[in-house]
Structure 1
């Protein structure tokens, strides 16, 4: 007789504004409860001077919360200038910079 163990999975997204690789502001999404396929539909806004854009990046991390344990990193991406990002992540950053008053959305593969 086989038994199945169901573990509640709680996930959230952590978004961290970095300046010169130092975290200056961190925001978290709502926690997605008890699902293997969470969907996060939230937006995060950070304000910084144009002069700081070259040394800034945004780390987006998918985290898993297990009660009584340290939160576990499931995957992440880094959006930023050419100093921090390449490929789609750099393209996303450049689109955000070019359209600062608009919401810019893109899908990314976490690593």
Structure 2
């Protein structure tokens, strides 16, 4: 569901974005566009030297944020709003970011 004011998917918690209710190892929202926000807990450059791969957390859960096209020098403690599609790799949910807004 899209937010008409921003054009982004309706914001949800990280827990809601990565939930796997049937325990099949795949997030229920895999392939769906979501918007989440949180604080960076693992900075850019730690997981991968050239791609943006950070880890963010909110009060409910954490998730890896991946982008091959967005370049940001995000540090631990930065607050971000992330819009993108839920994916899965090696049993872990992640979000393929299409937009990242630092605030």
Normalised by the shorter chain, which TM-score bucket?
under 0.3
TM-score, normalization: structure 1?
Answer: 0.25
User: Rg larger in 1 or in 2?
Assistant: 1
- Return the structure number with greater relative CO, CA threshold 8 A, min gap 6: 2
TM (norm. structure 2) is 0.26
